[in-house]
Structure 1
């Protein structure tokens, strides 16, 4: 077998590249996610890895997608081109999942309500710049569907906006997130909304704060079930950090006040 190049090294979550494949530990929801990825491939959505089954040591095997991902993704959404392409990718992904029927006995990392409401899609659940594969300012792939589940589109939109507005202080934006100057968060929210197809960002700040709180509870729940890396994150104090993010968002609403995204006045979703 070809040599293994480590993509992510954690005692309970070692992800490696072997040739043109990615090998990942199998999670309880793997079969459900595989069904989703196969649906996306059949629907002509070109941005997800191919499902190649399981290897001889029980890892799931996915096709490798060439490009930059992980920490490199932060710099890609600073530029307006990358930010709008990121939002359009999310809209295209949601559209492609709208007619997906989960298999009988589907298992999701996050508990999904019984049945599907008319406005639900299959949300990615972790739609951040790090889970997009980039070539230049263009997304060419979407990876890591561990937190996918049926939910309203707004769930993914709010999650993404936390990271690309971003709901972070200026010091973090300049030091860690590749911004050359403090970001105009209000403008970036409007640009993202418009690129996604929303005509208004009304209520979006509250939606992001609610999604931040949901993330905290999800991390707490997965850690309590022994899932990694959440258990290690909680042991190292992540819940305090997540609570701090919510507090920052509430106290800095003046940086994120909503204004209409599009002049046509029509809400598309």
Structure 2
């Protein structure tokens, strides 16, 4: 039997590597995510894991993407080359998924929401920790559990919250590996240009709107008993998120646009 390596040992989610595969818990939305990943395979998008099936323990089986991920991702996007590469990868994903039409009644982690005009299936959690890196080059995208129909700008705004970042100088240094206070406006401009946006008008406001959308979703999932969101109500995560939104509103002028 292939050797097991624990990749995540969360209270509510255990992810293991078995040989060249990854085994993860199934969820009510996993079938929709698998349909999405199969579309990406069909169109030749090389940066997403491939679906191999479900094992005898009821876990989804995906291909393993080799490289650095998790906390290693933060330092990669401090470098402007990594920042640009991350934005280009997001644009490549949005281009690859633009033609995807999920089956009627597809269920996502955000619920059985319909797709509206101008939306596509966003990744929903496009942060540097969910990318696989080789140096400053991202070579894979992990953790598709939060995929679902949204306007493409949602993924852009979500990423910018963390890579601009929409955080104070102390947290930028402590948690995001910035050796000096970041030039947030410049970093926002770099990411937007690499993604292909032609205007920054309203972009900072989109980030704040995205922060509020995520907080609303977290509260709804927590109310439904979903984990880890339910635990976030008591462990300080929700309160910290509220504080981050308040900081973004107070310092909106740092970002221009």
Report the TM-score range of the alignment, normalised by the length of the smaller protein. over 0.9
Alignment size in residue pairs: 257
SS in 2 for 1:106: coil
Quote the residue 2:53 is aligned against.
53
Q: Give per-residue Cα distances to partners, 1:38-78, cap 9 Å, x unaligned.
A: 10011111000010110001001100000011111111101
1:73 matched residue in structure 2:
73
Q: Whole-Å Cα distance in 2 between the matches of residues 115 and 23 of structure 1?
A: 29
> Aligned with 1:38: secondary structure?
helix
Aligned to 1:242: 241
User: TM-score normalised to the size of structure 1?
Assistant: 0.93
Match of 2:182 in 1: 183
Question: Contact conserved, 2:161 with 2:207, CA < 8 A, in 1?
Answer: yes
2:88 and 2:195 in contact (8 A); partners too = yes
Partner of 1:164: 163
Residues 171-222 of structure 1 deviation map (CA, whole Å, 9 limit, x = unaligned): 1111221111110000000111100000111101111111101111111111
Shift of 1:116: 3.4
- Output aligned runs, 1:203-214, within 5 Å: 203-214=202-213
Give the conservation status (yes or no) of the 8 Å contact 1:112–1:151. no
**Given that residues 112 and 150 in structure 1 are in contact (C-alpha distance below 8 angstroms), is that contact kept between their aligned partners in structure 2?**
no
In structure 1, the residue matched to 2:109 is 109
Looking at structure 1, the residues matched to 231 and 57 of structure 2 have their Cα atoms a distance apart, in angstroms, of 24
Conserved 8 A contact 2:7-2:15: yes
TM-score, structure 2 normalization: 0.97
| Structure 2 equivalent of residue 124 of structure 1 | 123
Deviation, 1:168, is 0.6
Aligned 8 A contact 1:74 1:130 in 2: yes
Asked whether the 8 Å contact 1:10–1:229 carries over to 2, the reply is: no
**Alignment match, 2:28:** 28
What do you get for the CA RMSD once the two structures are aligned? Answer: 1.1
* 1:79-90 matches, cutoff 5 A: 79-90=79-90
Map Cα deviations across residues 91-143 of structure 1 (whole Å, 9 max, x no partner). 010011111010233111113643431x2221000000001100111010001
- Which whole-Å CA distance do the structure 2 matches of 1:165 and 1:99 have between them? 29
Which one is further off, 191-200 or 106-115? 106-115
Structure 1 residues 211 and 44: CA distance shift in structure 2, 3 A = same
Query: 2:14 and 2:220 mapped to 1: Cα distance?
Result: 22
The residue number in structure 2 matching 1:261 is none
Task: Report the Cα distance in structure 2 between the residues aligned to 1:112 and 1:214, rounded to whole angstroms.
Answer: 17
Gaps of 5+ in 2: none
Q: Secondary structure at the match of 1:194?
A: helix
Rounded Cα–Cα distance in structure 2 between residues aligned with 1:45 and 1:113: 25
Report deviation, 1:234: 2.1
Distance 2:116 2:101 in 1: 9
Deviant stretches of 4+, over 4 Å: none
Tell me by how many angstroms 1:2 deviates: 2.4
